[in-house]
């Protein structure tokens, strides 16, 4: 019986040491997770005098972002159209003049879209 108690006591001490070590390491490793979160960035027009002004300023930023996404989408559509037209020119179904005309119209379309987005940002 004494051997059993001795073994159990030794086992409990070992378990206690493992628990203390585990808890200590856990506490030390959690310090990184308790770091401060970064501050939220103010809108491009500033925070404003009240909550409504701040919401309007965030809305302005959202509209500008939407305009940028619209411009990127237009650019992708023009580029895709030019690539497919180039494939048709290479296959002999269309002429190089068709590709040039499509490139010219696409470039004008992109310039007009960018100009309209710029004008719209001034109105907001």
Q: Within 13 Å, how many C-alpha atoms sit on residue 86's CB side?
A: 7
Residue 2 to residue 11: CA distance in whole angstroms: 14
23 or 32, greater pLDDT: 23
- Residue 30: pLDDT band by 50, 70, 90 thresholds? low
Average predicted confidence (pLDDT) for the chain: 84
pTM: 0.59
Residue 99 to residue 48: CA distance in whole angstroms: 50
Across the range 92-120, mean pLDDT stands at 92
- Residue 32: pLDDT band by 50, 70, 90 thresholds? low
3-state secondary structure of 104: helix
What pLDDT score does 33 carry? 58
- Residue 82: pLDDT band by 50, 70, 90 thresholds? very high
pLDDT for 37-50, tens place per residue? Answer: 677 777 877 777 88
């Amino acid at each position: 019986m004494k051997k059993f108690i001795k073994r159990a006591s030794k086992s409990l001490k070992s378990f206690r040491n493992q628990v203390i070590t585990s808890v200590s390491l856990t506490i030390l490793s959690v310090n990184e997770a308790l770091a401060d979160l970064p501050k939220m960035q103010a809108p491009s027009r500033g925070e404003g005098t009240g909550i409504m002004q701040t919401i309007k300023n965030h809305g302005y930023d959202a509209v500008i972002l939407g305009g940028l996404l619209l411009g990127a989408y237009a650019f992708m559509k023009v580029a895709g159209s030019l690539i497919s037209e180039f494939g048709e020119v290479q296959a002999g179904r269309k002429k190089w003049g068709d590709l040039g005309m499509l490139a010219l119209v696409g470039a004008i379309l992109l310039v007009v879209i960018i100009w309209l987005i710029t004008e719209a940002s001034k109105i907001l």
